Amino acid sequence: MRKGGARMSRRYDRRHSRETKGHGALGFLVTFVLLLFVGVMVFFFLSDTSYKGTKGKVYSLFYQQQYGEQVHKYAAEFGVEEPLVFAVIRTESGFRPEVESAAGALGLMQIMPSTFDWLQESLDGQVKYTADSLKDPDINIRYGTYLLSVLLKQYGVRDTAIAAYNAGTTTVNGWLQDRAISPDGKTLSNIPYEETSAYVERVGHAYELYQKLYYQ
């Protein structure tokens, strides 16, 4: 009985060993095919410089054109590039019209109530909206785009205007007078505020992607 049991055990061990090897080979083949597929997809993704193929479709999921009608309307009215407006909205609020910052900035383009009053007086000659109106996408995009147009005209350099949108004109004017920060008095080569430096970089990156995805 023990001898028969031993023979059966050896046969089982050999059969189990063959099955294990078979499963191992199959697993290796499946893994190889998956890695090959991923490699091919990555190759086509990286080689797609036009952003019109797979790469563009992937990026467009994260760089959307929500509120496109309002952006198109007010960008044309105030002479601001649409990709820049989209980039600011995406960076400021992620296209969430109800968002409010800890500092009190409101809406899609994160406008401070005091700035909103100034914008209304400058554009309309009177203050006719309350701060809560900034949660209205149409109103927020109108005045936010107008603010961008004012800053672009004032500074003449996109990145400097973006920095002023984040840090304020008083702060940026001071930076432009410091040759360690602005050698030419127009551009900012060394932004002292880490938040503003990162903000300018994020908006600039989003601007370039919007350009490539939708405007080239």
Catalytic positions: 92
Encoding tokens for residue 167? Answer: 């840090």
Encoding tokens for residue 42? Answer: 């990555």
Q: What H or E segment, with its residue span, contains residue 50?
A: none
Residue 59: CB atoms within 10 A of its CB come to 16
Report the distance separating Cα 144 and Cα 53, nearest Å.
32
Residue the block writes with tokens 């028969």? 4
3 state DSSP class of 147: helix
Which residues share a beta bridge with 111?
106
Q: Is the dihedral of CA 39, 42, 48, 54 positive or negative?
A: positive
**Pick from 68, 157, 78: nearest CA to 108:** 68
**Pick from 155, 186, 152: nearest CA to 75:** 152
Query: Which residue type sits at 131?
Result: A
CA 198 to chain centre: 12
Report the distance separating Cα 138 and Cα 71, nearest Å.
9
